[in-house]
Every structure is written in C-alpha cells, then in structure tokens.
Amino acid sequence: MTELRRESLSNGLELSFVDRSNRYFGDYHRLQIEVHIAVQLPKVDTDADDFWSVARRVFGDHLTLVRTLERMGVAGDQVAATREQLVSDYLQHAVPYLERPQSLRALVAGELKRRKTGRRYG
C-alpha cells in the first residue's frame, strides 16, 4: 500500500491516492487506487444546525470516505502511465464537484444515509 499523491482542495477536503494494485496473470495487472477523502466536520456551538450536531455525534470530528478507481488487464509496460491517467481523470472530473459549496454537506449526508440504511451504495 503506497500513497501516490495528496491533494488539498480549496474547501478543506484532503484527497489521498493510495495504490493497492497487483499483478494477477503473467504480465497483466489490476490497477486499484483508493481515493481517501478526509472531511473535517465543522464545529457547531449551538443546536441551531441539527445536521452537523448529528454528524459529529455519529462520526466525531472527522470522516474519511473511500472511493475505488480500478482498471483490469493493464500490461506491465503501461502500468505507470495508466495509474497516472486514473488519478488525473479523477481529479479532472471529481474536483469541480467536490469543491462546490454544498458538496461537504452532501458527502456527509450520503454517509449518514448509508449508515442508517446499512446499504453500501445510495
């Protein structure tokens, strides 16, 4: 498990890319990169915002979400380039969404819902 890259977003989210790839047959590799999204939950002095109070009760001061990027059947000579492309594509497409003002609340709300329903996806 090797950390490939770390990015700090303008809204305080921290992204960490961790390589969990392996060779599975001959010279073919399964590239698997975990994206760890560290969310620092805002401090709430009053009970006016019940959402953040509930979130802090459930998760504490911070929450780490994990997303997985995967590509199968990558030839050995293409591993480094494909790995960089996976990270680059994720940053290009996800960062504009993650930096939106409402995304922090949406990420936490989604995780609260998953914990409540016990479902991994939505």
Question: In which residue are the tokens 């995967």 written?
Answer: 70
Q: Mean pLDDT throughout 76-91?
A: 96
3-state helix, strand, coil in the chain (%, to 5): 40, 35, 25
CA separation for the pair 27, 35 (Å, rounded): 25
CA distances from 38 to 48, 60, 78 (A): 25, 13, 30
Question: In which residue are the tokens 């409402």 written?
Answer: 102
CA separation for the pair 29, 84 (Å, rounded): 15
Residue 8, pLDDT > 90, answer yes
Position 83 scores a pLDDT of: 96
Q: Mean pLDDT throughout 69-92?
A: 96
CA separation for the pair 90, 74 (Å, rounded): 18
Report the range of poorest mean pLDDT among 44-48, 84-88, 93-97, 116-120. Answer: 44-48
Position 43 confidence tier, pLDDT thresholds 50, 70, 90:
confident
What is the percent of the chain with per-residue pLDDT over 90, rounded to a whole number?
75
Position 47 scores a pLDDT of: 59
- Residue 120, Ramachandran bin (φ over 0: left; ψ between -120 and 50: alpha; else beta): alpha
Position 95 scores a pLDDT of: 95
Computed over every residue of the chain, the mean pLDDT equals 91
